[in-house]
Structure 1
């Protein structure tokens, strides 16, 4: 990094001095009202040179756990003690966020629209601004997602296969499970890889809801990664993370009939092949059918809505070695977070991921 780059960070036509933070608004497009829409970025530019890392939330507008994670991070990062630069984007898809929708008003999915185009659709214009102004300035991105409505994801890190650096970073993050999953055309991870930008994708929680397990896992994980990169000092409170389970294969388990589901298992539970996951019966409880685990593994996501059609995905199970050991580690994480909660808070809301 050159001397000028050490002293200031340029983004969206703004210059952020070393050892400072700044809130930057980058124009996206003009709306039907005639007013401009903006992408908001908080820049922490450290006192010393180092990597540039971005953390993004709400690429899907209703997946707001990342917004809460970034709110916490914004209060904990000190540019005077930072090496390198951190870019926080609390809401990437501002249009979907305002409408409480996964998609943009044109019904396009931002995470299938990268790298975007200045002259393209609303989604394409937003993708172009975010990609050119944020992604291409970084060497690492941490993108935070949740499950869809009425579904919950156990906190898990997803990474591209065959990247040893990402494995180390995912292990440092310390989410309960690491999933090696393929990249999708037009996705942020796919296009970032083409630009040489490594990506960690955190899946945690449920759309349109906050839960402490997801938020605290996200905040602690990002700080661990920054410490692993030498950007911040390692905090003693972040050192005792359990070794995450790793998986490169997962299975969706679907309801064999329509009706009302009564779950026997939930996200984070270890299962063995043949274990009862749920029972689905008719409206009066007639003709109940058992939903059985087809594999040994850990449940990384489940549906919370009990009203189901035949074929609805009820559980997402990752194949892991020693599922009982992984389940015990997850229980210890939940207990530690529950012990730190004020009395009267609701239990963690559990649900599942985008079903394909």
Structure 2
């Protein structure tokens, strides 16, 4: 007798796929904001994997990754359940902004409260009605503003199983990253979930390299968990050289002006190498920005104009045992 499973008030039967539209809040115009949740259950029991994106409404690369998973029917499991939420923050997605309508960052509002602010109430709903069912969570993000993140997976410290899944995901960079207070990842980990947080690209941008790495990473994980088994001809893509790190350094502009990067994202850099040039618009001033450390570039600022103190590059310092 199959186990009875109910998600968002819907009985989830074996071998069925459901698109459930949640209606938990309205705009000030009283307009409903519905968040589609796609739930697919196999006829065979197995783990539940939650794949989500768009906690920040302007991070559309992740939305595209989850969209492709659903469009190509990779979300139909052979065992267990796959839950896809392509756009968590529909509010922000509608107007291409990071925040919730109340001005709060949803990813600083978890685990939320039943009677809190709009963002807090939504976070509480997401945790209790959706995340609670999951065993594994894969969440997709991008760099903010003009900062482009090279594909990377972030995980919590001292969790061997999550680390192994991060390696299987296949991104070039895996970062042991401290959990931000009140973030979705911190709250899900506190509830015993195994969480992979993928960072790739920049806000309000879709990049093929980033989306391909994200889609392939999902397939690698689903295959490893036995949730979605692919034929023997399936060739999972894993970067030949994966860099594991827990220490990184932001490099900031030492002057204001026009900015031009002279390095490539994802590549190694040595201490003293020039990262970029800052000039004035008139041709009288030029200043080089050099790296104070050796490592790998995992994020570059794509803005052509910077102010003194702006973050222009993020460098991963490789662990000795990776």
Please give the range of the TM-score, normalised by the shorter of the 2 chains: over 0.9
Distance across 1 between alignment mates of 2:274 and 2:77 = 51
Distance across 2 between alignment mates of 1:198 and 1:321 = 23
Distance across 1 between alignment mates of 2:189 and 2:172 = 24
Distance across 2 between alignment mates of 1:198 and 1:17 = 25
The verdict on how the C-alpha distance between 1:101 and 1:166 changes in structure 2, with shifts beyond 3 A counting, is same
SS in 2 for 1:152: strand
The verdict on how the C-alpha distance between 1:36 and 1:199 changes in structure 2, with shifts beyond 3 A counting, is same
Map of 1:110 onto structure 2:
106
**Equivalent residue runs for 1:70-109 within 5 Å:** 70-77=66-73, 82-109=78-105
Map of 1:239 onto structure 2:
236
**Equivalent residue runs for 1:123-272 within 5 Å:** 123-235=119-231, 236-243=233-240, 244-272=242-270
Distance across 1 between alignment mates of 2:283 and 2:11 = 65
Give the conservation status (yes or no) of the 8 Å contact 2:75–2:84.
no
- The Cα shift of 1:286 comes to 2.3
Q: Which moved more, 1:216-225 or 1:279-288?
A: 279-288
Give the conservation status (yes or no) of the 8 Å contact 1:268–1:300.
yes
Distance across 1 between alignment mates of 2:84 and 2:157 = 26
- The Cα shift of 1:283 comes to 2.1
TM-score (norm 1): 0.86
The verdict on how the C-alpha distance between 1:151 and 1:234 changes in structure 2, with shifts beyond 3 A counting, is same
Deviations for 1:59-82, whole angstroms, at most 9, x for unmatched residues? Answer: 000001111111111133467751
TM-score (norm 2): 0.95
SS in 2 for 1:248: strand
SS in 2 for 1:238: coil
Map of 1:19 onto structure 2:
15
Deviations for 1:84-118, whole angstroms, at most 9, x for unmatched residues? Answer: 00000010011111110000121100000011122
The verdict on how the C-alpha distance between 1:57 and 1:105 changes in structure 2, with shifts beyond 3 A counting, is same
Distance across 1 between alignment mates of 2:66 and 2:91 = 18
Map of 1:284 onto structure 2:
282
Match of 1:301 among 258, 280, 299: 299
Map of 1:313 onto structure 2:
311
Aligned residues: 319
SS in 2 for 1:70: helix
Distance across 2 between alignment mates of 1:234 and 1:104 = 38
Distance across 2 between alignment mates of 1:80 and 1:151 = 34
Which sections of structure 1, spanning at least 5 residues, go unmatched?
A: 327-356
Map of 1:273 onto structure 2:
271
Map of 2:46 onto structure 1:
50
- Root mean square deviation, CA, Å: 1.7
Higher helix share: 1
- The Cα shift of 1:177 comes to 0.4
- The Cα shift of 1:36 comes to 3.1
Which sections of structure 2, spanning at least 5 residues, go unmatched?
A: none
Map of 1:340 onto structure 2:
none
Deviations for 1:32-62, whole angstroms, at most 9, x for unmatched residues? Answer: 2224322210001112100001011100000
